[in-house]
Every structure is written in structure tokens, then in C-alpha cells.
Structure 1
Amino acid sequence: MIDFASALYLGMRHPARALGAWDALTTGLPAALAAAPLARRVAADAASLQGTEAGMVGASTLHLAIDAFDRLGRTHALYADDALYPVMRWALERMMGRGVPVTWFRHGDAGDLARRLARRVAARPPAVITDATVGEGVPAPIERYVDAVWREGGLVLVDHSQVLGLTGERASPRSPWGQGGGGALRHAALPSPAMQPVLLLASWAKAFGAPLATLCGPAALINDIARDGPAQSHCSPASAVSLLAALDALAINRRAGARLRLRLLHRLYRLHDGLRALARSAVPDLHLSGRWHPLQRLTLATDQRALALHAGLSACGLRTALLRQRGGGYALIVIARADHRVTDIDALIDAIASLAPRLPDAGRAAPRITVFKETEHV
């Protein structure tokens, strides 16, 4: 079966033979008591890649979000994008359950954030919590968020799981993702990125294919979170094999990352162009997300048509993901990867074209057009 549901964007898989040996999967110690040497190495390399002073490693984004919000909830006033990814929202709900207020601003709306900041009465500096992308997968206005908070000693925390490994510095029309794969802060091209009041939280299980997460930012703040974070004190750290996979991902990124990203862009453009052609002809009610991100979300006029297309593609040997959207209804998720062949992309487009005449009648229902939000990611 050809897989269009996996989010291993760059095709990194880290087989056992590539990782070497390890003495034990875990140390039996919480990270706050004794971080493993491999973890310190991954943290330092992650910080260097992303343009920050320091980094730390956790078993997942949820673990690190709990640690970060526990610290920020004691010292900052929290402002969060109202379409924040669910894992981040879960960690914020923990703080709200402990009586810490959270102010929500409209998705990707720097103006709405500025208005809410202007009305605040709290003496604490603001901490803005956002995903890396807004709208149809375009970058969030991180530089505007930073401008809104830095004079008051605030900071911005960005979940950039969806762009780490893809975007980087020196973006241009010919290279929209930029170079290096360092993610949101590099891509935003802020001056002196290592000195910016930004925390970068990211899962490495997307482009880098490693089952762990990192939190990177100013050294003093990272050290505080690493020392006092609840998950750092009470949960197991990332396993040795996960850390070795992260180091393997960094090595692959150094020697072949540019080639993999270019290959992925070519596959994404072929997929998006093929889907747009279908929307102009065989499937006129097809609506797809922007060309910027490898995860494409397809909506049709009715749920019956989306369900039938998903089932039909599966019968043709093509795996896609069916997603219940936050606002109701279903969407079909199709993900381009660097390890897809051109023939894989063409097989998907041809299969949709062949299934189109057999889909349930669209009737008079209008297409459900909802913006691409990270809350709706698989």
C-alpha cells in the first residue's frame, strides 16, 4: 500500500543498524536528577540548529509543555492562540485547573493580541503561546508577537513541530522554506536569534522521525525549567534509542537535508498541482489547503463524498487519513513525503480522478471551506 498518511516528511526512519548499540534503554533516573550524556548532546545540537542559547530534551511535547507552562504560569501572564494544537492546550488546561488564568486571542491575529495586551492589568510580563503556522499553513507572525512583548520583559513560546526540519534561514521565492531546517526562529529571520525572547518547543517525530521533543531558548530560563519542571522530576526521560535516532537525524540533516527538502518540495508541488487540476475538472467541489505545507487537507461538499473517497482510495491501495474537523464534518488528509516517488503521486491523482464519477452526488451543498489550523493535524 502506498502511504499518504505518515508525517515523516523527509522520509527519515532510523533503522536499528544505523543507530549503533546502547547499554540500557533508560537510566532509571529522572532527567532533573541526572541528564544522560546523550541527552545533553542532543540538547546542545538542537539549540545550535534552531538558533538559541540552550536546549533540553523530553519524552514528548506534552512533557515539555507541562514543564514550560508550570514555570511560566508562576512568573508570566499567559496569552494563547485560540487554535492552539491540542497537546499544548492540554498542558494549558492543567494550569487553568490550578487557577492560572489564560487569555485567548484570535488565531494568528497579531492585532487582536496587541489589543488584549493593551487592556491587561496584570503586573506580570506576558507570555504568548502560539503554533508556528496560521491560516493555510503560512508562518505565524512571530516577529510581531516578539515586538508586542519584549519591551515588557515578555516572551513567545512557539510549537514548531510541523516546521522543524523543513524551514530555515534565508528563505526566498525560489527557496520558500529557506536553508538548514532549523525551524521557526531561523525562518522568521529575527536579528540576533540567540538573543530573542523565544522558547521553541518541537516534536522530532515529524520531519526528523525521532520519538522525542526538545525545548530551546534563553539559557537561564531553560536551566530553570530543566531543574524544576514536573515532568523532568517525576517522569522518565527520552530513551537511549530515541536519543540515538535524534543524533542520526541531525547527521542526515547535515549531509543530505537540503537534497531531501528539495525533493519534498518537488513532490508537494506535483501533488498540489494535480489536486488543483482535479478541482477544476473531475472534482469541482474539492477544496485543498495551501501549497506551503506537505500536509494537504481535502474537503468535499458532503461528508458522504469524503468518506466514499477515503474508502475508495484504500481499496485502490492508497492509505490516507480521515480527520474529524474541529468545526464538524470530515476532511481527507494527504501528506507528501520526500521518499514518495513521482509515480506514487501520479497514482493518487489518477485514483481520485477514476473514483470521482462514482462518488455520492454532491447535491446543492456548498463546499465546507475552513482554514488549515494545527488543531486539525493528524
Structure 2
Amino acid sequence: MAVLDFTSALYLGLRHQGPSLRPWPGLTTGKPAALEPAPGSAAIAGRFAVLVGCERATPLTSTLHLFWDLFGLLARDRVRIYMDEGTYAIARWGVERAALHGVPVREFQHRDATRLRALIEQDRGTKRRPIIVADGFCPSCGGPAPVTEFLQCVAPHNGYVVLDDTQALGVLGRQGGGSLRWQGVKSPDVIVGSSLAKGFGSPMAMLAGSASLIRCFEEQSATRVHCSPPSLAALHAAEHALVINSAVGGRLRRHLAQLVHRFHAGLHAIGLGVDGGLFPVQTLRPAGIAADILYQRLLRLGIRTVLMRRCRELGTCVAFLITALHGFSDIDRAVEAIGRAMALDHSTQQLTGRAS
């Protein structure tokens, strides 16, 4: 039997085969975006901004380029960064660049707006603008960033909230617009950076925010001068993803939610818990078995999963990444395999008990 794969983050199942995309004359124009934006990129960015609920957006090659450049720009101002301890690595690397430029950085407990507010008040005398950095949604614990509360923390100090919204894009909120749409937030003080490589299946990124901030970024961006812009193929894939999302995105998200519900019900029936809420990244909570052992047992049973670290914990867990390409039979097969893998452990415990 073929191995059933639960390791892909293409949540909506968008893969963009070549014939499905609008043709392009070449992968690149050979020109930096600062000199001449790629044909059609402004229109695609405009549609993206509307989708996520921001005034303006600009395309970049990756979130690595995006956050490296963004925090280099923010570091020119008199700011202090407050970073959620659960922030994903790529945004962290951008924060580290700001720290190298002398920007003070403090971490706060995962999604803890109360503790964050206390830290900002402690630093009030420094006269530095607070910049809060967090993931819009944490797939490990299945929880959102409290964006409204974060905004209340920075509002008296003319600060910003920077969100890495890669996970939520395409999955959460009105039309899959992500965290701001999901939480009903609209503010010029939020800066959103998202990779389109997961929910929308295009290997590029978008930075979105107020029109004035995005204009400032485009005028002063180093990566728009010294690095290649997104390829025309990636831009056309993003364009295709926006079209599909508008046409059938709702149906894909409903199917995805049904798959997750079925996964929960199947695990509940065999006495197991799972973290992740209704998000398509589901982490198991089995008792009495190490994650690496469970991972290997599932692989031998034809189920490929991901070993990942839970937020706020040192240990690893077994995660299932469910996509719209999976079917109900795939979910049933996965649950059956989990039950068999756990039964092996139960059988070993019984034999050990008899021997003693």
C-alpha cells in the first residue's frame, strides 16, 4: 500500500500545474523591483491587500527577504521590540537583525497581552516606540494572537504590531484573508507579512500594511534593489491562487474543516486527544509513548507525519498536516493506523505486567 502523506502545508491543495497558469515570457525580467516592478505585480498586490484587509501590499521573494528588510527599516527609528516567545524562526531572524543595529528586544510569554502591557509600561521612560512581533496563528497550540489587545498596548505609544500570518492565510477569516479578517481587525498600526507558499501554493511573500508604510518600505527596501524579485511564474501562481480562492475557496475550506472534524471524532472514539482546534495542523497527545517511537510506528504502517516541537515545550510531538487533497478514507486510514500503533504499546505493557 502506498504511503499516505500528512507532511504538506499546501492546506487548500493548490499546486498550480504549468498549463493552468497564464503564460510568462521568462522567469524574470532581469531587473530589480526597485527599478521596474514585474508586469502585473502591482495588480496582484492590490488584490492581496484587499483580501487581508490592509490598505496596500508589495510582493517579495520570500518571508526571509521580507522580515530581514522590514526590521532593517524599523531599526532606523527609535523603537523597542517585544517578541512573542512562540514567534516562528523567520521573523526571529529579522528581529535579530534589528538587535544587531542596537534595537532593544524583549520576549514575552506566548500570547500573554497582560504581561506584554506590563513590560511596555516598565519601559515607558525610554521614549522608544513599541513594536510587537508575533505569529498571527500558532498551529502548535491552535491559538490566535490577541491582535486587538496587542493594538491597545501600542496605541498610546504610536507603535506597531507585526504579524507573521503565513499559517492563517488561505485558511482562516473571510475568504481566507487570514488573522485580521478572522478577528475583525482593521488598523494602520498592523503590519502583516505572509508567505503564499502554504495556503496559496505560490513560493513568494507579501508585505501588507498602511499605504504610507508600504510606500516607505518600497522606497527604502534593500532587497528590492539587491535581490531578485519574485519570479513571473510565482507571481502568476499567486494570481491563479487568488482566482481559485475567490471562486471555490469557501468550498475547499469547508471540506478541510470536515476532514479535521472527522479526525477529531476518530481519535475520540479510540480515547485519544489532539491539539490544533479546527486548524489543519493537528498534534497528537498520546500518553505513555515517545513521539519519535510513534512517528516510526506510523511510518511502518504507511503514514508519513511530521515531528514538531510544541510551543512553550522542549519535547516533540507527532503532527498531521491535513490538506484539501485528502479524502475521508485517508482520515479513516490514519486513525486506524494510530490505533494500531498505540495498541502495540498497550500489548507490550500487558506482557510486561504478566512477566512481573
Matching residue of 1:347 = 333
Matching residue of 1:144 = 149
Q: Percent identity?
A: 38
Matching residue of 2:208 = 216
Displacement, 1:242?
Answer: 0.6
- Helix, strand or coil: the match of 1:310? helix
Q: 2:75 aligns with which of 70, 73, 76?
A: 73
CA distance in 1, matches of 2:214, 2:349: 53
Deviations 1:231-278 (A, max 9, x none): 222111111111011001000000001101101000011112222333
Matching residue of 2:300 = 315
Q: Please list, as runs of the form range in 1=range in 2, the aligned pairs for 1:1-378 lying within 5 A after superposition.
A: 1-75=3-77, 76-120=79-123, 121-134=125-138, 136-168=141-173, 179-190=174-185, 193=186, 195-278=187-270, 280=271, 287-301=273-287, 305-323=290-308, 327-359=313-345
Displacement, 1:324?
Answer: 5.0
Cα gap change, 1:362/1:187 in structure 2, threshold over 3 Å: closer, same or farther? farther
CA distance in 2, matches of 1:208, 1:160: 13
What amino acid is aligned across from residue 39 of structure 1 in structure 2? S
What amino acid is aligned across from residue 215 of structure 2 in structure 1? N
Matching residue of 1:372 = none
Structure 1 portions without partners, runs of 5+: 169-178, 281-285, 364-378
Considering only aligned residues, what root-mean-square deviation do their CA atoms show, in Å?
1.9
Structure 2 portions without partners, runs of 5+: 351-356
CA distance in 2, matches of 1:44, 1:101: 34
Contact 1:2 1:317 in 2 (8 A): yes
- Helix, strand or coil: the match of 1:37? coil
Matching residue of 1:373 = none
CA distance in 2, matches of 1:276, 1:96: 46
What amino acid is aligned across from residue 200 of structure 1 in structure 2? V
CA distance in 2, matches of 1:23, 1:255: 27
Contact 1:78 1:102 in 2 (8 A): yes
- Helix, strand or coil: the match of 2:40? helix
What amino acid is aligned across from residue 311 of structure 1 in structure 2? Q
Q: TM-score by structure 1 length?
A: 0.86
Matching residue of 1:370 = none
Matching residue of 2:354 = none
Cα gap change, 1:19/1:117 in structure 2, threshold over 3 Å: closer, same or farther? same
CA distance in 1, matches of 2:181, 2:309: 33
Contact 1:306 1:331 in 2 (8 A): yes
CA distance in 1, matches of 2:94, 2:245: 30
CA distance in 2, matches of 1:319, 1:81: 31
Q: TM-score by structure 2 length?
A: 0.91
Contact 2:309 2:316 in 1 (8 A): yes
Contact 2:137 2:179 in 1 (8 A): no
What amino acid is aligned across from residue 27 of structure 1 in structure 2? T
